[in-house]
């Protein structure tokens, strides 16, 4: 520093050191240095980089050091080695994590879709809830009762037809597939219902009728006038106007399946009512029309379709007479579907190709994440179960997710353990490997199980429905044990019943019983109901049973929650254990899962004691988790003396790692093998 005086003021001046200065003793002169550095006054921090590096080599790293200094220190072994170790450690951990992820994905069984997990609940819209007081249920009424499905822990709702229709067959005779019948509301009501269902996490499955339309449909009116594009949209043939029977084919509702049309001067085919002409699905234009209709509703956001009466979609082009069941019966007496073998009117070659086209459309819309579109087919094939199994498709070409399994509808024909096992095994032993089963015990065409089998068996049948492997389907009201109503001839609404009152399907279609108030809560505005109420509605209703822990409803809710929360029911093995005159018993177990379940159901007519002492995989003592007789909950039985009353079902939970299926492979089934690693709670293929 130098001190400088200027005009009486004193100021400090920084002394600048010239790094190039050399003393005379070093062989240089001040003049030399001054001449070489003339005009070079610079800040002390502006030094040459090489000099800086030399100057700082003796210092420790510090904050704010220049890049060159940082690089100099970072190359030293004590900094370089830890850095390289950490780098390779991160690389190895990343590779290990990727390998573990790939292994888990490769070993994990396929994820279950929503239709695997939840039961399907069928709503018959005319009978579910009336919102406007006209005595007929509607879409707004369904929307009002969506919380009922959530209370049941049900996430999939199948709604029977609500298309615009003359209602000759209560919606299965469709006049316009792109509109809602005013009886049920309008398209806005549907869209609001669908949006609210999705908001609540519910899936909507629509009924779709590809086989026929109403005779009021625009296509039929154009076809009967021989419009060039529509003339072959239906099945027409020449016939005698005086006796319109081109062959002996018979309608499902009885009598000839041919009707003469005066406008066209030909007969048209109808396998159902004469007001329901069959579409000609051998015409590619008709198939494309159906695909366009499917796309229309998928665009709106529906989650799936139940394809109605699919086995009737194609008929033999040659139109030959079908063989009679009784060859000696006079042809003029052949008037019912049971009088003929339906070799030419059902399950024709080409049927499954059409259904696979429908499936392909569904798959296109299923590409949206979390929006799988479900397809189930309806086909009553009776003893020809192999025909039903064809609707599953092949390992290479998918068709329906499953065809409806109607065999349990025959359970009331013989309430016994043997019969129950036979009906279950009819499906399980014929189902293609790796496919998913399903079970139906009631619908809008069959008597309610509480009436056909008997009230005492309702709880046991619900228990079986919800503990068998696969997807259960529940018809509205079965969760509370509703029964058929009795109707008189004057009260008949069903077209089939108008031909023969004993064939009426009205008894199983009575209004839903919500509470003990006026009209059972079905219609709270007026005193109108389209069918009479069942007299039991004051005690058999949703509101009363919600408060009763031992009610049919409460047991249904418990069983459904158990089914969805316990892996052995969704992922595990199903094994027959015993069946006799009274009892049907089976196991649900999963490899690696400590807990397993023994189901014992008494379908007989008397008290039974079941001896399972020969089943070494069972522990000596068994505790009842749930009984359809609430008094027996938590009761302990020795496995040699499991006691059940007639109509009683038991769910017994026990703990063991010893599995039944390895030593009884012929008695056990599983759709997709899986094991459970209990220590980390992971499922894997095994």
Name the residues annotated as catalytic.
308, 378
**In 3D, which of 468, 686, 657 has the Cα closest to residue 574?**
468
Angle between helices 67-74 and 77-107 (to 10 degrees): 80
CA distances from 462 to 474, 628, 650 (A): 9, 10, 12
- What strand order describes the sheet that includes 258-261? 236-237, 266-269, 258-261
**In 3D, which of 457, 466, 445, 390 has the Cα closest to residue 419?**
457
**In 3D, which of 114, 607, 653 has the Cα closest to residue 374?**
114
DSSP 540-553: SSHHHHHT-TTSHH
**In 3D, which of 124, 341, 336, 123 has the Cα closest to residue 250?**
336
**Cα–Cα dist 173/230, whole Å:** 19
Do 125 and 160 form a contact (C-beta atoms < 8 A)?
yes
**Cα–Cα dist 256/245, whole Å:** 7
Q: Is the dihedral of CA 665, 667, 672, 676 positive or negative?
A: negative
**Cα–Cα dist 648/70, whole Å:** 83
What φ, ψ does residue 360 adopt, rounded to 5°? -60, -40
Q: How do strand 636-638 and strand 621-627 relate by DSSP bridges?
A: antiparallel
Do 395 and 327 form a contact (C-beta atoms < 8 A)?
no
Which of helix, strand or coil describes residue 49?
A: helix
């Amino acid at each position: 520093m130098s001190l400088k005086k200027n005009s009486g003021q004193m100021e400090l001046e920084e002394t600048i050191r010239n790094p190039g200065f050399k003393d005379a003793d070093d062989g240089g002169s001040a003049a030399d240095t001054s001449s070489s550095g003339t005009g070079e006054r610079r800040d002390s921090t502006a030094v040459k980089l090489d000099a800086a590096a030399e100057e700082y080599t003796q210092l420790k790293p510090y904050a704010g050091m220049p890049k060159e200094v940082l690089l100099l220190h970072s190359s030293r072994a004590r900094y370089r080695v830890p850095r390289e170790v950490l780098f390779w450690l991160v690389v190895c951990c990343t590779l290990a994590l990727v390998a573990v992820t790939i292994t888990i994905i490769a070993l994990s069984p396929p994820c279950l879709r929503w239709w695997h997990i939840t039961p399907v609940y069928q709503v018959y819209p005319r009978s579910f809830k009336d919102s406007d007081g006209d005595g007929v249920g509607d879409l707004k009424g369904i929307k009002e009762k969506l919380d009922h499905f959530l209370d049941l822990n049900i996430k999939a709702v199948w709604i029977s037809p609500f298309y615009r229709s003359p209602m000759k067959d209560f919606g299965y005779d469709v006049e316009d597939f792109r509109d809602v019948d005013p009886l049920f509301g309008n398209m806005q009501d549907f869209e609001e219902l669908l949006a609210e269902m999705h908001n609540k996490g519910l899936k909507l499955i629509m009924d779709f009728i590809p086989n026929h339309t109403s005779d009021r449909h625009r296509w039929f009116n154009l076809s009967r006038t021989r419009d060039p594009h529509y003339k072959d949209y239906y099945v027409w043939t020449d016939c005698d106007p005086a006796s319109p029977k081109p062959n002996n084919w018979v309608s499902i509702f009885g009598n000839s399946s041919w009707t003469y049309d005066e406008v066209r001067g030909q007969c048209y085919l109808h396998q159902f009512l004469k007001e329901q002409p069959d579409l000609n699905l051998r015409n590619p234009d008709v198939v494309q029309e159906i695909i366009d209709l499917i796309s229309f509703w998928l665009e709106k956001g529906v989650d799936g379709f139940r394809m109605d009466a699919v086995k009737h979609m194609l008929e033999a082009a040659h139109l030959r007479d079908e063989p009679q069941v009784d060859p000696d019966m006079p042809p003029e007496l052949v008037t019912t579907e049971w009088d003929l073998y339906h070799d030419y009117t059902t399950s024709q070659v080409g049927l499954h190709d059409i259904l696979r086209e429908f499936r392909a459309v569904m798959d296109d819309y299923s590409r949206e994440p979390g929006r799988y579109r479900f397809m189930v087919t309806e086909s009553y094939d009776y003893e020809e179960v192999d025909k039903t199994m064809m609707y599953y498709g092949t390992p290479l070409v998918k068709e329906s997710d499953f065809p409806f399994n109607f065999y349990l509808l025959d359970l009331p024909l013989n309430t016994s353990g043997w019969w129950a096992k036979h009906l279950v095994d009819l499906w399980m032993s014929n189902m293609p490997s790796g496919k998913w089963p399903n079970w139906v015990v009631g619908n809008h065409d069959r008597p309610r199980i509480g009436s056909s089998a008997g009230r005492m068996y309702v709880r046991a049948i619900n228990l079986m429905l919800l503990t068998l492997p696969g997807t259960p389907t529940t018809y509205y009201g079965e969760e509370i044990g509703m029964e058929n109503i009795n109707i008189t001839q004057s009260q008949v609404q069903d077209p089939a019943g108008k031909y023969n009152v004993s064939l009426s399907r009205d008894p199983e279609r009575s209004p839903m019983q919500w509470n003990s108030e006026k009209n059972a809560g079905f219609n709270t505005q007026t005193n109108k109901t389209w069918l009479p109420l069942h007299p039991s509605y004051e005690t058999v209703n949703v509101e009363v049973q919600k408060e009763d822990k031992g009610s049919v409803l409460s047991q249904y809710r418990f069983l459904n929650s158990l089914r969805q929360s316990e892996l052995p029911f969704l992922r595990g093995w199903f094994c027959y254990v015993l069946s006799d005159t009274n009892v049907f018993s089976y196991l649900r177990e999963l490899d690696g899962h400590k807990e397993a379940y023994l189901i014992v159901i008494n379908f007989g007519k008397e008290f039974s004691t079941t001896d399972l002492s020969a089943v070494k995989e069972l522990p000596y003592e068994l505790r009842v988790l749930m009984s359809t007789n609430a008094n027996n909950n938590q009761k302990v039985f020795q496995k040699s003396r499991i006691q059940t009353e007639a109509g009683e079902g038991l769910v017994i939970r026990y703990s063991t790692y010893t599995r039944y299926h390895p030593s009884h492979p012929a008695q056990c089934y599983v759709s997709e093998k899986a094991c459970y690693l209990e220590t980390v709670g992971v499922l894997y293929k095994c």
